[in-house]
Every structure is written in C-alpha cells, then in structure tokens.
Amino acid sequence: MKTKLFTILLVFLSFFSKADDGYRLWLKYDPIKEQSIRQEYLGYFKGIDLQTNPTPVLKTALEELGVGLNGLLGITQLPKNTQGLHIKIDPNLALESYGITEKSGQITLVGGSDKGILYAVFGLLRELQQKHSLKNIAKTEIPKISYRMLNHWDNMNGTIERGYAGASLWKWFELPETIDSRYTDYARANASIGINAVAINNVNASARLLTKEYLVKVKVLADIFRKYGIKLFLSVNFASPKLLGKLKTSDPLDPQVQAWWKAKTKEVYEYIPDFGGFLVKANSEGEPGPQEYGRSHADGANMLAGAIEPYQGIVIWRAFVYSPNPKGDRFKEAYNEFKPLDGTFNKNVIVQVKNGPIDFQSREPFHPLFGAMPQTPLSLEFQITQEYLGFTTNVFYQSILYKECLDSDTYAKGKGSTVAKVIDGSLGTNPKLSMMAGVANTGSDRNWTGHLLSQANWYAFGRLAWNHELTSETIAEEWTRMTFQTDASTLQTIQSILLKSRDTYVKFTTPLGLHHIMGHNLHFGPEPWLEKSARPDWTSLYYHRADSIGIGFNRTKTGSQALELYKPEVQNKWNKPKTCDLDYLLWFHHVSWNEKLSTGKTLWEELCHRYYSGVKEVETFQTEWQKCEGKINQTLFEDVKGRLAAQHRESLNWRDACVLYFQTFSKQALPSPLVKPKRSLEEMKELVEIYQLK
C-alpha cells in the first residue's frame, strides 16, 4: 500500500518545470551525467524498505525523495524491497535529528521523528546533488538550535518592508479560496535547509491578522507549512486590545487586557493547533508597547507568555529599542533597557537581539547583550534581506557576516563563550528555547530573492541555524554545486566571488569601522553628509563624527563608554586605537587623519585606498563572472552580469560621495596613485537627492 502511493507520487511529480530561471533555487535535481557516480547511486535505490507508519510529514519526505531521485537519476518508482533504501524512526534520538549510513551497499535513513526523516531525505539529496560518494557514509546530524526561523516583514497591502524581491508571497485577498502553489514551494525550500519556524508578517505589525476574517487565511498557510515541519508565528501589535477589542487600554497589567489576550490566543489555536507563538516589536520606532503604561518589557512579554503558555506557545520579544537621545549613544540603549531585566522573563519568553548594537550594518561588533543576559534565552536576529547590504544589485554573501558574529567570543563564562554558544543554550540557558532568526529576503520575483546570488544567503542562514559550526566555504561550495551544473573551475570562480563579496562591499561603503552613513531613505546608498532627520540617531553625522582632527565615534572611557558594556577581555581587543582591529577602528575611536596605522598608511590614506580598492574588486568580479559565460545558463549569466554592472555604478557612487565629503574635513589630497573622482561633491549630493525624491 505504502509502495503504491509512493510510485504514484513519483510519476506525478516528474511533471515539475525544469526551466532554469532561478525558481528552482538549490533544489534543481538536474540529471547526474557522470556514469560512475550514477551507477553507484542506482545500486542503492532499487527499492524502499519503509519501517514506519505514514504521517503527513513522512508523506512529504517521500514525495521529496521521489522528486529528487526522479530528477537526478530518472528513477520513477521504488518498489517495496527489504534490500532497498531503509527508512526508520528511532524514538531514542532527538526529534529533529537524523542519521544516514551506508553498509554493504544498503543505505539507511533514521530519524528521531517524521521530521527527522524529512531532514534526512534532504540531507541525502544534498549529498547526491553534490555527487559525493555514499560509500561508508556515516552521518549523524543534530540541529544545534531549536527554532530556526524566518521573520517576514510583509505588510498586509502586499508590500515588504526592506524587501526588494518583489511583492509579498502571501496573497491575502485571494486567500483562503485560492491557494498559490508557491506557498508549497516556499515551504519545501525552507525545510530543505532545516528552517522550522516562520513569522509571516512585519514586526511593525498590523492587528488585522488576529481577526477571524484573516485567521482563516492564515490557517491555510499554517496547514501547508505543517506538512514541511514548519510552525507558523505571527507578529502582533501590542495595542491590539485597544485596536480590535475596543478596550480603553492595552496595559499588560490590566485584567481586561489579560483576558482579551487569553481569549484571542485560544481563538488562534482553534484555527492553528500547533501555532508557534507571538513575535513582538514594542516601544521601538513608534510601535506601541508596555512602556506607554509605565510597565517594563518584561511585564509586556510575560503577560503574553501567560496567555500562550497553556498551548506550549512562546513569545519572542525584540530588544531592538533605542530612544532618541542626542547626547547618548544608541549603541548602549538596548543594553541599558534589557540587562536589568535578565532573569525576570517567563520561561516561554525568548528575547530577540540583533547581531549588532546598531542596525544590521555591513560590519558590526557583536551585540553586548549576548554577553550580559545569562539567565535569559536569547534569539540571534540577522537580516537576510539586504537593507544596508546592497539591495538586489550587490553581491554580498552573508555567511561571512553571520559567522563573524557567531564566532565572536563574549567571554560571558570565560574564554570560548562565543555568541553561538550563548544562543544555542550550551552555556546554561534553556536549550529548548534556542533560536536564530533571519529577516527574509524572499518575494514574488520569479527567482525569489531578486539577485540570484542572494539565494545563497537564504541557504546559508538555514544551514548555519542548523549547524553554526559549518564554514562559509563549505556552505558556498554546497550552494554553488547545487545551483549550477557546471565544471569545477566555474564553480570555483563563483565561490570565490561569494567569499570575497562581503569584504569588498565593506571597502567601498563603510571601511575601517565606519557605519550608518547611508541615505535617509536609500539605506543601500551613501549620504555621509546627512545632518538632519526626525531623530539625531537617524543622521550620519551622529555616527562618523568627522571633524578637522579626525573621524570615528569614541566609545572608550573618554567617550560614550559603550565599550565598557563588554567583558574586559573584549574591551582589551578594541580599547586602544593602536591595537584595535582596523575593521572596527572607527566603531570605537575618533582617530586623527594623520594617525599612522598598522598598514603603514595614515588613516586618511588608508580610508581612500579602501574606497578605491573596493571599486577595483567589483571590476574584478565583473571580469571573473565573464568567465562563466557559456558555462552556466545564459539567462542566469546575463542577469548577474547586469547586477554586477549596477554594483559597479553604485560602488563608484559610494566611493566618490564618501571620499569627496570626508576630504572636506581631512583637507588633504588623495594619496598617489589614486586619481580624484571626476564628479564634484555637489554633483554627488544632487545624485543622491535624485535617488531619494518621492
């Protein structure tokens, strides 16, 4: 019976489109041409020995196995056969973990649950797609983080905040009657990299999704995601009791407010019995929150946690808060607010902290809260979408940035207390509540992410959330091999562009630790001269502090003292301009233009050199990419080629705007052999204005 079902599915799924327009992501499954590896694989898949009862997730796993084997090896059916591929559940294993072994020509997939089997199938297909021999394979995989989550910043009107790959995937007006097949394709892509949680709407949250009218629509998505082992979460508006319940207050200590949330939570679970929980942005950037009633973040979070606890749901409370204090330092705001609350949150609350203290910049020191909240589970939030990282016109392989943060040593419990260990619970907090969240970069564009190479960021996020010990090189290699069917040297070319891309982007935008000098509206373009805004900490001058003496934000003892939020060992790394890693120099020091750096150049010379070499490196990417012509699909080739040309134009804009502007302070010529930009500062200002016109 099971075998018959499986055979039918294989045939049905072979009708999937094979067009190479980026839609298939890393799940292409184009036929393996190499005879020797084909023969090896065909020997393993003569039949299937399914030693477990089908569940919806297991059914998905078998479907996926069918799609993969059909595409890669042309296998259209797997008869029941005790000598075939063995699939079984071992209840002694952790629920989502799995093993893949080969012994005497037999492959066994074992999972801790049906979800484990689903991940085992994707793990197996990943091996096949990379054409690795399975001989003697003995793989055991246990996810290090329990909630591996995407946060969508999708609005109810179909737009996406800081999303650049088209409109929202969720078609609210068509749901629940019309169900786009893309919802399933999205879920399978996530499951293939281990993502098991998704918050579907913007943290600047509309209350609309909590209404009956919308819960029936949300339920459709939850039902699809469930089959792929994914839990659905909602971002909620803290003022919902007032907005929807018509109460006079949303005060978390008010009994009517508490009753309202309890009833609403119960209702949500009636539609979605495995609902994951609430994600909350409160008292931040104008969003409502408990502080309006003189209550703390913990009061707000714990009230929601109480309402959701009976259903095993959780509350994710964001620590992205900062008040507009012209004399203060935004770097310290979240720490000052949350550190005193350590240990006061309910056990089903996790506090979500951005990777750095400011806001998803291209390089930030790790957030000091990671070393300061030993009694609170912390979720690490990255931004996969490229708000500050070059939009869809720049290649920026984010695995490098993610790893830099994950591997940073907080010294919270002595040497080796990396951010990764803080968040995965291995330093002592509740490991069941460990989480890594990424702000999604997906949209309605045919290739999902706008820039084809940005697919690698979605992929890398999932893989690192599963196992933060993977290297950026391994992930880049996996992604490239799975995405492009081509020769080894072309794969190498693409990987090397990816691996250099972060460093290049930093060079031509914010070298030496500059940060937050982007356009007011154009967050991926330059506006270092931005002086006025609704808040001082939304200007560029607040951050770079350039003057006739030098440039950079003094966050040492003699400055804002933000550096003191870190453990002494971390402070020692960064507290002296002479020994501070140059990549972080201007994050912590105001350095004189003529200061000699470890490179032998003065600060001004080094700054100029980095801006110029960043542009040169983009030119190298263009030349390198050209080598891929004829080696990969022409449409994909042309698309990336165009985007690299746009990146080159933008890199020149960044370089000219920043060098000319900072020159008004340094009052020095460009070091030789650099040639002064052809455009004037005034021209650059006009250009930036054009890009920001309504």
Closer to ligand GCV by Cβ: residue 62 or 437: 437
Closer to ligand GCV by Cβ: residue 225 or 320: 320
Distance of CA 327 to the CA centre of its chain: 32
DSSP states along 139-152: EEE--S-SEEEEE-
Binding of residue 108 to ligand GCV (CB under 6 A): no
Minimal distance, residue 295 CB to ligand GCV, in Å: 20
Handedness of CA 187, 304, 216, 263 (dihedral sign): positive
Distant-in-sequence, close-in-space partners of 266: CB < 8 Å, separation ≥ 6: none
Distance of CA 461 to the CA centre of its chain: 5
Q: Is 305 helix (H, G, I), strand (E, B) or coil?
A: helix
Binding of residue 280 to ligand GCV (CB under 6 A): no
Do 402 and 148 form a contact (C-beta atoms < 8 A)? Answer: no
Number of residues binding to ligand GCV, judged by CB under 6 A: 11
Phi, psi of 160 (to 5 degrees): -130, 125
Binding of residue 188 to ligand GCV (CB under 6 A): no
- Residues numbered 386 to 415 that lie near ligand GCV (CB under 6 A) are 387
Minimal distance, residue 318 CB to ligand GCV, in Å: 7
Helix (H) or strand (E) holding 352: strand 349-354
Minimal distance, residue 291 CB to ligand GCV, in Å: 16
Closer to ligand GCV by Cβ: residue 320 or 411: 320
- Residues numbered 445 to 504 that lie near ligand GCV (CB under 6 A) are none
Binding of residue 185 to ligand GCV (CB under 6 A): no
Decide if 387 is catalytic.
Answer: yes
Distance of CA 170 to the CA centre of its chain: 19
Binding of residue 62 to ligand GCV (CB under 6 A): no
Binding of residue 298 to ligand GCV (CB under 6 A): no
Binding mask 222-261 vs ligand GCV (x if CB under 6 A, - otherwise)?
Answer: ----------------------------------------
Minimal distance, residue 153 CB to ligand GCV, in Å: 5
Binding of residue 164 to ligand GCV (CB under 6 A): no
DSSP at 414:
B
Closer to ligand GCV by Cβ: residue 394 or 418: 394
DSSP at 470:
S
Decide if 359 is catalytic.
Answer: yes
Catalytic residue, candidates 285, 547, 629, 686: 285
Catalytic residue, candidates 141, 154, 299, 359: 359
Minimal distance, residue 287 CB to ligand GCV, in Å: 8
Distant-in-sequence, close-in-space partners of 181: CB < 8 Å, separation ≥ 6: none
Lookup: tokens for 342: 């350590």
- Binding part of the chain for ligand GCV, among 65-73, 122-130, 202-210, 610-618 by CB under 6 A, reads 202-210
**One of 30, 127, 161, 292 touching ligand GCV (CB under 6 A):** 161
Closer to ligand GCV by Cβ: residue 101 or 204: 204
Q: Which one-letter amino acid corresponds to residue 468?
A: H
Binding of residue 199 to ligand GCV (CB under 6 A): no
Phi, psi of 80 (to 5 degrees): -65, 130
Minimal distance, residue 533 CB to ligand GCV, in Å: 12
**One of 126, 148, 281, 297 touching ligand GCV (CB under 6 A):** 281
- Binding part of the chain for ligand GCV, among 24-32, 181-189, 200-208, 508-516 by CB under 6 A, reads 200-208
Helix 455-466 × helix 399-406 angle, to 10°? 30
Name the one residue in this structure whose structure tokens are 């990379």: 130
Binding of residue 543 to ligand GCV (CB under 6 A): no
Closer to ligand GCV by Cβ: residue 312 or 521: 521
Binding of residue 331 to ligand GCV (CB under 6 A): no
Binding of residue 153 to ligand GCV (CB under 6 A): yes
Do 459 and 449 form a contact (C-beta atoms < 8 A)? Answer: no
Q: Is 628 helix (H, G, I), strand (E, B) or coil?
A: coil
Catalytic residue, candidates 64, 154, 387, 606: 387
Report the distance separating Cα 504 and Cα 528, nearest Å: 19
Name the one residue in this structure whose structure tokens are 């072979």: 14
Closer to ligand GCV by Cβ: residue 285 or 689: 285
Write down the H helix ranges in 484-602: 488-509, 541-544, 568-574, 585-588
Nearest by Cα to 180 from 442, 439, 444: 444
Minimal distance, residue 523 CB to ligand GCV, in Å: 6
**Cis peptide leading into 176, omega within 30 of 0?**
yes
Distance of CA 611 to the CA centre of its chain: 27
Closer to ligand GCV by Cβ: residue 204 or 668: 204
Helix (H) or strand (E) holding 233: strand 231-235
**One of 184, 204, 258, 492 touching ligand GCV (CB under 6 A):** 204
Within 13 Å and on the Cβ side, how many CA atoms surround 321?
A: 25
Nearest by Cα to 312 from 256, 264, 265: 265
Do 529 and 428 form a contact (C-beta atoms < 8 A)? Answer: no
Lookup: tokens for 417: 């207390």
Report the distance separating Cα 142 and Cα 154, nearest Å: 31
- Binding part of the chain for ligand GCV, among 59-67, 198-206, 453-461, 572-580 by CB under 6 A, reads 198-206
- Residues numbered 349 to 388 that lie near ligand GCV (CB under 6 A) are 359, 387
- Residues numbered 306 to 325 that lie near ligand GCV (CB under 6 A) are 320
Lookup: tokens for 413: 């419990």
Minimal distance, residue 204 CB to ligand GCV, in Å: 5
Do 252 and 201 form a contact (C-beta atoms < 8 A)? Answer: no
Minimal distance, residue 366 CB to ligand GCV, in Å: 17
Q: Which one-letter amino acid corresponds to residue 68?
A: G
Closer to ligand GCV by Cβ: residue 64 or 359: 359
Closer to ligand GCV by Cβ: residue 245 or 438: 438
- Binding part of the chain for ligand GCV, among 93-101, 201-209, 267-275, 302-310 by CB under 6 A, reads 201-209
Write down the H helix ranges in 314-390: 330-338
Distant-in-sequence, close-in-space partners of 584: CB < 8 Å, separation ≥ 6: 363, 365, 513, 574
Question: How are beta strands 435-439 and 48-50 bridged, if at all?
Answer: unpaired
Closer to ligand GCV by Cβ: residue 320 or 662: 320
Minimal distance, residue 459 CB to ligand GCV, in Å: 22
Binding of residue 292 to ligand GCV (CB under 6 A): no
Decide if 285 is catalytic.
Answer: yes
- Residues numbered 549 to 608 that lie near ligand GCV (CB under 6 A) are none
Minimal distance, residue 461 CB to ligand GCV, in Å: 16
**One of 110, 169, 191, 203 touching ligand GCV (CB under 6 A):** 203
Closer to ligand GCV by Cβ: residue 41 or 382: 382
**One of 28, 139, 162, 500 touching ligand GCV (CB under 6 A):** 162
DSSP-assigned beta bridge partners for residue 178 = none
Report the distance separating Cα 441 and Cα 454, nearest Å: 8
Report the distance separating Cα 65 and Cα 338, nearest Å: 46
**What residues are annotated to the active site?**
285, 359, 387
Q: Where along the sequence are the contacts to ligand GCV (CB under 6 A)?
A: 153, 161-162, 202-204, 281, 285, 320, 359, 387
